[in-house]
Amino acid sequence: MADLSVNIGKLQLKNPVMTASGTFGYGLEFADFVNLEDIGGIIVKGTTLKPREGNPYPRMAETPQGMLNCVGLQNKGVDYFCEHIYPQIKDIRTNMIVNVSGSCCEDYAECAARINELERIPAIELNISCPNVKQGGMAFGVTAEGASAVVKAVRKAYDKTLIVKLSPNVTNVADIARSVEDAGADSVSLINTLMGMAIDIEAS
């Protein structure tokens, strides 16, 4: 059989196939459909420092081209992940990677620090498309300065493989990519959600 192994810095993958965060839950939900250990890496759903309820319903809309969604990072927080989810996924023989989100640099760093303590989680994917509450709600990832700041904060707290998921909703994604590389990212993930809108023209 062909050797399909690849590496992201120090992170070794048996093949380059990885799931996208938010689409594959914690992996366990799909165990009946696919052998999880055949996948090079599983990026689990977004995890934040504190629990998040997510956006109000409706959260999804079908379009002729596919689907729009605005789930809003619903999750039970990093402590719940460490105590309840991690024990269920730590023995899956592939790279289990946690997507980390936040609303300020300190939240990102603290969430990453707690995941750093989990022996069987070799990497995180940093979601910098989140709104920066200290800067009026503009997403971290839309400016080189904002992206760099959050990556630097996380890099100080996290010593494993750091993947940064870039926002496509920018004027020059290459500038953002260079800024996160300079700040300590090991790789970038292209790309997070494109903005979209669905309008029901029949609704009164």
pLDDT digits (tens, 9 = 90+) for 105-156: 999 999 999 999 999 999 999 999 987 777 777 789 999 999 999 999 999 9
How much is the pLDDT for 66? Answer: 85
Cβ partners under 8 Å of residue 53, min gap 6 = 72, 74
Phi-psi region of 17 (alpha: psi -120 to 50; beta: other; left: phi over 0): beta
Confidence (pLDDT) at 180:
98
Three-state SS string over 1-49 comes to: CCCCCEEECCEEECCCCECCCCCCCCCHHHCCCCCHHHCCEEEEEEECC
Q: What tokens does 125 get?
A: 């994917």
From the list 104, 105, 111, 130, the catalytic residue is: 130
Output the pLDDT for position 43: 98
Angle at 54 between CA 48 and CA 59, to 5 degrees: 140
Contact of 133 with 103, CB cutoff 8 Å = yes
Neighbour order of strands in the sheet with 95-100 = 41-47, 95-100, 123-127, 161-165, 187-189
Residue 82 DSSP symbol? I
Q: What is the pLDDT of residue 58?
A: 84
pLDDT at position 204 is 61
Token pair in block for residue 102: 């936040």
State the chain's mean pLDDT as an integer. Answer: 93
Q: Which pLDDT value is given to residue 60?
A: 87
Provide the percentage of residues in the chain whose pLDDT is more than 90: 75
Residue ranges in the chain whose pLDDT is less than 70? 204
Is 130 catalytic? The answer is yes
In this prediction the pTM is 0.92
| pLDDT score for 107 | 97
| Residue 72 three-state SS | coil
- 112 token code pair: 């990453």
Using DSSP bridges, classify how beta strands 11-13 and 6-8 pair: parallel, antiparallel or unpaired.
Answer: antiparallel
Q: What per-residue confidence (pLDDT) applies to 124?
A: 98
pLDDT at residue 139, rounded to an integer: 86
Measured in whole angstroms, the distance separating CA 163 from the mean position of its chain's CA atoms is 9
Under the phi-then-psi rule, with left for phi > 0, alpha for psi from -120 to 50, and beta for the rest, what region is 118? Answer: beta
Cβ atoms of 167 and 139 within 8 Å: the answer is yes
